[in-house]
Structure 1
Amino acid sequence: MSSLKKFLKEKGYQKIKLNYTATQHFELKAKINDIEGSFILDTGASSSCVGFEAVSHFNLLAEDSDIKAAGAGATDMLTQIAQKNNIEIKGWKKKKVDLVLFDLTHVNNALVKHKAKKVHGIIGADILKKGKAVIDYKSKNLFLK
């Protein structure tokens, strides 16, 4: 796989090491507004999200939203939105990123139940698309351009 890594590096991609949680999810560190947090990488999540309990941690400005969140056994969850945030994942940066804010209690309860650490949020398909993501499952690396 070093040829894939070399090819992507030549194309300007940043390599981000991923860690498996005890629940077999990929986890990574990211900074929102220059503040680091822990996130699950979720290719099935259409939007990147932050839990309500981490709004002050990342200095987010929460606004009401009509969007209802659903996933992982929960539906019609109330949300808010935080607009125009900066995100950085190991050297890859994007400005003016909108984040969905919702109750991540059910996600964190499931992680803790399986002896994994709680997360601040979820990196979803919106960020993966913006970064032209390539995920190498064998080497546990995410590449963003």
Structure 2
Amino acid sequence: MRHFLRPSLLVCLLLALPQNTLADSYPTPAAIKAARAADALGEQLEEMGYAVAPLTRMRSGHLVAEVKINGSEPMRFVCDSGSGATLITPQTSQRLQLQSEDTGSTAAGVGGQGLQVDSAEISSFQIGGKALPMEVILVVDISHVNAQFVVAGEQPIEGIIGSDWMKAHQVLLDVAHGRMFFKPI
């Protein structure tokens, strides 16, 4: 026995479909204008010698860039202008087989006080496909930060891009479009 859909049943099925139409997914004129302005800004910055690195946003709002140290696999680094220094975790230092040395200093950050600060020698810091010379990176235990990320359902980070690196590379963050512009000096 063959069953055919009746026209009235077909109309009911179509009406039951979500009201998200293709037209709803088209960008608004304002969004198109903003995208064009962002593209023009990006082109102008690249003409001025800036490189660009993509950023992703965590649910917490933190911006994350992929970084490679000494040619490593990509690692997650939070961009944190409130951090005075660029750093990696002790676990990252061990995984990269870096030799850490105690600096004799301590650091305090959000949720952590009296954190031991070590340093490690590195040969390159790669971001946005650009390998940049960098001789030393700090090694600080930020497990208290990663614990909060994990509780929030996020992946832990391997390091932080701090204001020292941002200043040295004249970083401009395009938060709306998820990208970081920097001078590869």
Shorter-normalised TM-score: what interval?
A: over 0.9
- Deviations 1:30-50, CA, capped at 9 Å, x for gaps: 001111211111011111111
Mean Cα displacement is larger for which, 119-128 or 88-97? 88-97
Q: 2:46 aligns with which of 1, 4, 9?
A: 9
Where does structure 2 lack aligned partners over 5 or more consecutive residues? 1-37
Contact 2:111 2:145 in 1 (8 A): no
Contact 1:65 1:80 in 2 (8 A): yes
State yes or no: 1:96 paired with 2:134. Answer: yes
> Between Structure 1 and Structure 2, which shows a larger proportion of helix residues?
2
What is the match of residue 176 of structure 2?
138
User: Structure 1-normalised TM-score?
Assistant: 0.93
Contact 1:25 1:40 in 2 (8 A): yes
Q: CA RMSD in A?
A: 1.3
State yes or no: 1:30 paired with 2:67. Answer: yes
Name the amino acid aligned to 2:131: K
User: Structure 2-normalised TM-score?
Assistant: 0.74
More relative contact order in 1 or in 2 (CA 8 Å, sep 6+)?
Answer: 1
State yes or no: 1:107 paired with 2:129. Answer: no
How far apart are 1:126 and its partner, in Å? 1.6
Identity, % of aligned pairs?
26
Where does structure 1 lack aligned partners over 5 or more consecutive residues? none
Structure with bigger gyration radius: 2
Q: 2:102 aligns with which of 61, 64, 69?
A: 64
Between the aligned partners of 1:18 and 1:103, the Cα distance in structure 2 is: 23
Mean Cα displacement is larger for which, 119-128 or 89-98? 89-98
Deviating above 4 A after TM superposition, structure 1's stretches of 4 or more consecutive aligned residues are: none
